[in-house]
Chain A
Amino acid sequence: GENVEQHPSTLSVQEGDSAVIKCTYSDSASNYFPWYKQELGKRPQLIIDIRSNVGEKKDQRIAVTLNKTAKHFSLHITETQPEDSAVYFCAASYGGGGNKLTFGTGTQLKVEL
């Protein structure tokens, strides 16, 4: 089955700096890669996703890149703000997003003033 590894487990940045979180996946059949933000005690919230026919996607301060050959994808957050502090999870799935998700182990992002 699919296995997703995520690094780093914790990340501390200064407000305004950029943050990068990296994930690798094992199953070449995976074709959908969402990123979730989870605040303490709340549900995971989708912040951006990318499908395997695209190499990069951007939404305001958030971008995701995908390298299918190397089987890795990354989340980039620019101009970080304190409200970006949360746990971020990457995930992988096949079926374009209508199937089970295999999650990474999470990254605790702390944005310091």
Chain B
Amino acid sequence: EAGVAQSPRYKIIEKRQSVAFWCNPISGHATLYWYQQILGQGPKLLIQFQNNGVVDDSQLPKDRFSAERLKGVDSTLKIQPAKLEDSAVYLCASSSPRGGDYGYTFGSGTRLTVV
């Protein structure tokens, strides 16, 4: 079974520029999550999708962050314009119930540096 795929692995941009991250979850996983992990902290949920619908985006800074999962499969997270404090690792995860286990799996993440 292939894992959660993310790209790019690394990105360096200047403040006020825009950036987009891509995630392809494990095949068949209905739930997709985007987490932000700032250096030295635990991951923090930004947005949760169930198929192509948003379940929770209460911690997404909507003035600059947006995310979509149009066909209920892969997803894109965008930041426009970026700020210095957006420097972090952006982790995508997916899950789906299967035999009592949800198979919650994280991708390798995209490390964003804003200079």
Contacts and interface: CB of A to CB of B under 8 A. Distances in A.
A98 B102 CA distance: 6
A34 B40 CA distance: 19
Given A98-B97, A104-B42, 7 more contacts: A43-B107, A44-B43, A44-B91, A98-B102, A100-B48, A102-B45, A106-B41
23 contacts: A4-B42, A34-B104, A43-B106, A43-B107, A44-B91, A45-B106, A89-B42, A91-B42, A96-B102, A97-B102, A98-B96, A98-B102, A99-B48, A100-B33, A100-B48, A100-B56, A101-B43, A101-B45, A101-B104, A103-B42, A104-B42, A106-B40, A106-B42
A61 interface: no
Contact of A103 (B40, B43, B58, B97): B43
Contacts of A44: 43, 91, 106
A108 to B, nearest CB: 9
Interface string A47-84: 00000000000000000000000000000000000000
A29 interface: no
Contacts of A1: 58
Interface string B81-115: 00000000001000111000110101111000000
B24 interface: no
Nearest to A34: B104
Nearest to A89: B42
Nearest to B58: A1
Contacts of A96: 102
Nearest to A42: B108
B75 interface: no
B31 A98 contact: yes
Contacts of B56: 100
Contacts of A98: 31, 95-97, 102, 104
Contacts of B31: 98-99
Contacts of B97: 98
Contact of B109 (A43, A45, A97): A43
Contacts of A97: 95, 101-102, 104
B3 to A, nearest CB: 9
